[in-house]
C-alpha cells in the first residue's frame, strides 16, 4: 500500500522509459577487465570532488590529495589572487614529490609563500611557476617559463573543489553538474564547517557502497537493531518508500522521510537519544542558517522530509538533512573488489557544550550504521564473484542503483565508441514533462 504518491506511469522507474525494469547484470562490479575500462572512461576524464574551500582558507593555504587509484598526487593551493588551483605534485627537475611530510604517501596540508622541493630546493610560486633554480648556471638551455608545475583542471562549485585529470576536460564543471548544480546552488554549505571525517578500506567494488546508500529498502532490515523494538517493528511494517526520485543523468537524487523530532513516544528512541536530543538524523534542535531551500532540496515539499541523498557522478554523494547539517561520501576505487570509503559530517559550529555533545552523538550513530553497511558489502562482493548468479532484480525503490550502473556502462560504451553519451530516459522524461 503506497503511502507516498508515485508518478503517473505507476512507478519511478517507468517514469524514465528506456531505463528498463528487467534484471541487471552486476559484472561491472567484479570484472577486472571492466574495472580497467571504467577507469579510462570515467575516473580519468570526469570532474571529481577532492575537498572544500575551507581546507584552503587563506592565500598560500594548501593541501595534498593522494589519488592512489590513478597513481597521482594532487597539490591544491589558494593563489595570491584568491583562485583555488591544482597541480600534479611533481617537481619538474627530477620528479621528486614536491609537497609531503615524513611519509611521502601521506596527505598533508599547511600554508606557505612558495613551494620548495626538499631535494634540490627548486622553488615554485603559488601559481605553479618556477621561481628559483639552485645553481641555475650549471644547467643547459634551461627554459624556466616552461618548467612550472603541471596544472590539473580545477574548478569550484558551492565551495566544493573539483579536479579533472583530463588534459582538456570535455565540459566545464558547470556544464557537467547541469541541473544538479543549479538545483542545489545557494544552500549554506559554507556555514557548516565543524567537520568530522572517517575513512575505511572496503573489500567491495566502489559502486556497491553507492548502491547501499541510495536505496533505503534495506534500512528497516539491516539496521533494525539500531532502533528500539517498538520502532523497529513499526519501520519493518511500513517498509521504505522514497518521497521523490529524480534522475539528472549522470547525476541523481532520492528524497526521504524520517527523523521527526521530538518523537511522539519516547519508547521509539534510545535512552541516549532522549537524554541528548540527537540521533541519526542529527540534533533535534536545528541551528538557524538555512532559509528557503534550493529547488532540488525536498523537491516534493513534503512535511515529513528528513534527508535528501544526491549522487554527483561518479563517486561523490551529498546528504542534506532537514536538521541543517550535511554529510558527504566519497568512494575511491582501488581495484574491482576494493575501494577507499570516506565519510565527512559537517555541522554549524556548536554554540555551547550541549550542542557539541549532540553533534558527537550524531557522528557516533553514523559510524555505527556505516559499520553495518560496510561489512555487508564484503559479503555481497564475494558472492557476486562466485558468478553463480549473473543478473539481479531491482525494485522501484532501487531505481538509483539501476540508474548509476546504467550510467557507468553508458559512459564506458560512449568513450570507447568515441560518441557522445546517450541517456534515452533523460530525453523521454524531458518530452513527457514538456
Partner 1 sequence: MTMTAETTASGLPAAFADLEPFAGWILETQPERYGRRLSTSMAEMQAFYDAAFPRLPEILAHCNVFPIDDLPDDVKKLMLLVFSLVEVSFPVEIWKQGRVPDSGAAAMDCVLEPPL
* Phi, psi (deg, nearest 5) at residue 348: -65, 130
What is the Cα–Cα distance from 78 to 85, expressed in whole angstroms? 6
Q: Which of 356, 385, 413, 426 binds partner 1 (CB under 8 A)?
A: 356
Whether the CB-CB separation of 228 and 267 falls below 8 Å is answered with: yes
Which residue, 39 or 200, has its beta carbon nearer to partner 1?
A: 200
Residues 171-200 interacting with partner 1 (rule: CB under 8 A): 194-200
The H or E element containing residue 339 is strand 338-347
Contact status: 355 vs partner 1 (CB under 8 A)? yes
What is the Cα–Cα distance from 90 to 151, expressed in whole angstroms? 10
Smallest gap, in angstroms, from Cβ of residue 163 to partner 1?
A: 20
Contact status: 208 vs partner 1 (CB under 8 A)? no
Q: How many residues interact with partner 1 (rule CB under 8 A)?
A: 39
Q: Which of 87, 176, 206, 361 binds partner 1 (CB under 8 A)?
A: 361
Which residue, 100 or 313, has its beta carbon nearer to partner 1?
A: 100
Residue with cell 521527526: 260
Contact status: 376 vs partner 1 (CB under 8 A)? yes
Contact status: 226 vs partner 1 (CB under 8 A)? yes
DSSP state string for 220-256: HHHTGGGS-HHHHHHHHHH----SEEEEETTEEEEEE
Site string for partner 1, 91-110 (x = CB under 8 A): --------------------
Q: Which of 3, 94, 118, 367 binds partner 1 (CB under 8 A)?
A: 367
Which residue, 147 or 363, has its beta carbon nearer to partner 1?
A: 363
DSSP class of residue 337? Answer: T
Contact status: 343 vs partner 1 (CB under 8 A)? yes
Contact status: 68 vs partner 1 (CB under 8 A)? no
DSSP state string for 41-101: IIITTS-EEEEEGGGS-STTEEEEEEEGGGTEEEEEEE-TTS-EEEEESB-TTT--BSS--
Which residue, 199 or 427, has its beta carbon nearer to partner 1?
A: 199
Whether the CB-CB separation of 256 and 216 falls below 8 Å is answered with: yes
The region, left, alpha or beta by phi > 0 then psi within -120 to 50, assigned to residue 139 is beta
User: Of the ranges 166-174, 207-215, 296-304, 342-350, which one interacts with partner 1 (CB under 8 A)?
Assistant: 342-350
How deeply is 168 buried, as exposed, middle or buried, from its count of CB atoms within 10 A (0-12, 13-18, 19+)? exposed
The footprint of partner 1 (CB under 8 A) covers 194-200, 202, 225-226, 270-272, 275-276, 343-344, 349-357, 360-361, 363-364, 367-368, 370-372, 374-376, 378
Amino acid at each position: 500500500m503506497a503511502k507516498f504518491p508515485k508518478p503517473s506511469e505507476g512507478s519511478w522507474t517507468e517514469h524514465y522509459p528506456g531505463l528498463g525494469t528487467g534484471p541487471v547484470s552486476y559484472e561491472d562490479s567484479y570484472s577486472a577487465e571492466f574495472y580497467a575500462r571504467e577507469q579510462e572512461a570515467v575516473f580519468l576524464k570526469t570532474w571529481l570532488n577532492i575537498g572544500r574551500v575551507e581546507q584552503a582558507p587563506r592565500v598560500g593555504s594548501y593541501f595534498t590529495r593522494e589519488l592512489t587509484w590513478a597513481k597521482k598526487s594532487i597539490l591544491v593551493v589558494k593563489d595570491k589572487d584568491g583562485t583555488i588551483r591544482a597541480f600534479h605534485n611533481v617537481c619538474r627537475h627530477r620528479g621528486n614529490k614536491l609537497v609531503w611530510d615524513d611519509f611521502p604517501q601521506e596527505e598533508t596540508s599547511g600554508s606557505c609563500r612558495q613551494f620548495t622541493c626538499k631535494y634540490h630546493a627548486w622553488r615554485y610560486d603559488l601559481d605553479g611557476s618556477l621561481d628559483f633554480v639552485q645553481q641555475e648556471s650549471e644547467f643547459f638551455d634551461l627554459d624556466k617559463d616552461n618548467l612550472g608545475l603541471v596544472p590539473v583542471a580545477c574548478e569550484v562549485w558551492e565551495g566544493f573543489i573539483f579536479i579533472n585529470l583530463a588534459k582538456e576536460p570535455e565540459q566545464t564543471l558547470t556544464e557537467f553538474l547541469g541541473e544538479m548544480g543549479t538545483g542545489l546552488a545557494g544552500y549554506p554549505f559554507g556555514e557548516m564547517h565543524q567537520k568530522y571525517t572517517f575513512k575505511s578500506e572496503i573489500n567491495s567494488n566502489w559502486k556497491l557502497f553507492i548502491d547501499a546508500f541510495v536505496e533505503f529498502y534495506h534500512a528497516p532490515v539491516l539496521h533494525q537493531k539500531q532502533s528500539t523494538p517498538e520502532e523497529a517493528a513499526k519501520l519493518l511494517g511500513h517498509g521504505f518508500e522514497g518521497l521523490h526520485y529524480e534522475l539528472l543523468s549522470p547525476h541523481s537524487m532520492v528524497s526521504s522521510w524520517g527523523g521527526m523530532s521530538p518523537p511522539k513516544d519516547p519508547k521509539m528512541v534510545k535512552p541516549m537519544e532522549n537524554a541528548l536530543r540527537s540521533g541519526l538524523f542529527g540534533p533535534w534542535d536545528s541551528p538557524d542558517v538555512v532559509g528557503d531551500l534550493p529547488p532540488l532540496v525536498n523537491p516534493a515539499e513534503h512535511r515529513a522530509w528528513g534527508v535528501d541523498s544526491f549522487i554527483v557522478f561518479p563517486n561523490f554523494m551529498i546528504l542534506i538533512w532537514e536538521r541543517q547539517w550535511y554529510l558527504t561520501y566519497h568512494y575511491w576505487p582501488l581495484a574491482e573488489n576494493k575501494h577507499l570509503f570516506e565519510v565527512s559530517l559537517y555541522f554549524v559550529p556548536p554554540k555551547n557544550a550541549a550542542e557539541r555533545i549532540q553533534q558527537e552523538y550524531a557522528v557516533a550513530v553514523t559510524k555505527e550504521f556505516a559499520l553495518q553497511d560496510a561489512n555487508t558489502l564484503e559479503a555481497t562482493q564475494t558472492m557476486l564473484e562466485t558468478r553463480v548468479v549473473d543478473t539481479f532484480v531491482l525494485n522501484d525503490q532501487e531505481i538509483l542503483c539501476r540508474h548509476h550502473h546504467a550510467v557507468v556502462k553508458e559512459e564506458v560504451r560512449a568513450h570507447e565508441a568515441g560518441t557522445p553519451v546517450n541517456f534515452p530516459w533523460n530525453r523521454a522524461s524531458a518530452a513527457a514533462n514538456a
